[in-house]
């Protein structure tokens, strides 16, 4: 499967999850943390003690209000996560705080497993901060994306062995 096809598969999967549910509002279905099976890979909570932390901001690369106009015309509005690469240690609780700096653009955060399944999904409302404590229980590389602004708004989390091992 090509990378482009995988991205669209993820987008359609999240769309199906958000629109399913027999009349539940999109806001009610929009956020979810890892289920029991995925929590064996990464556990996520809103509170707790963190041993490390990082802030990830949304960055407007090319938007209709400030341009460059030729870029916006050809590619549309373009955003990025900064930083778009995070390294953490296995079994070390790490607080990751997301700042959506745009006053009129909503973003989202989708954490993907190695099979490209969305393990966690959260909307990032305009001019807001959202924070979680992540504890990865497996080493490896995990992708995260804003499904609203693909393919450019994406990043990776590298899970290293525990410190000192």
pLDDT tens for 77-100 read 889 999 999 999 999 999 999 999
Tell which CATH architecture fits domain 3-160: Sandwich (2.60)
Residue 11, pLDDT above cutoff 70: no
* 14 pLDDT more than 80: no
Alpha helices in 25-102 (DSSP H): 26-30, 69-75
pLDDT attached to residue 48 = 94
pLDDT digits (tens, 9 = 90+) for 39-73: 999 999 999 999 999 999 999 988 888 878 888 88
Q: Which two tokens stand for residue 94?
A: 């790490």
Q: Two tokens at 22?
A: 């027999």
Q: How many helices (H) and strands (E) does the chain have?
A: 3, 10
Q: Per mean pLDDT, which range of 99-103, 115-119, 148-152 is the poorest?
A: 148-152
Give the domain ranges of the chain.
3-160
What are the backbone angles phi and psi of residue 38, rounded to the nearest 5°?
-70, -25
123: phi then psi, degrees, rounded to nearest 5: -80, 145
Q: At 3, which helix (H) or strand (E)? A: helix 3-19
């Amino acid at each position: 499967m090509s990378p482009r096809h995988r991205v669209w598969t993820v987008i359609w999967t999240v769309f199906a999850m958000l629109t399913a549910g027999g009349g539940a509002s999109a806001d009610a279905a929009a956020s979810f943390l890892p289920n029991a099976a995925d929590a064996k890979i990464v556990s996520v909570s809103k509170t707790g003690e963190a041993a490390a932390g990082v802030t990830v901001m949304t960055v407007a690369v090319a938007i209709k209000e400030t341009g460059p106009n030729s870029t916006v015309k050809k590619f549309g509005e373009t955003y990025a996560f900064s930083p778009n690469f995070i390294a953490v240690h296995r079994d070390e609780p790490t607080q990751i705080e997301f700042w959506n700096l745009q006053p009129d653009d909503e973003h989202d955060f989708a954490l993907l497993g190695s099979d490209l399944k969305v393990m966690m999904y959260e909307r990032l409302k305009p001019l807001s901060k959202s924070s979680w404590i992540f504890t990865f229980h497996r080493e490896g590389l995990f992708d995260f994306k804003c499904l609203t602004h693909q393919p450019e708004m994406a990043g990776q989390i590298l899970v290293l062995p525990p410190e000192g091992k």
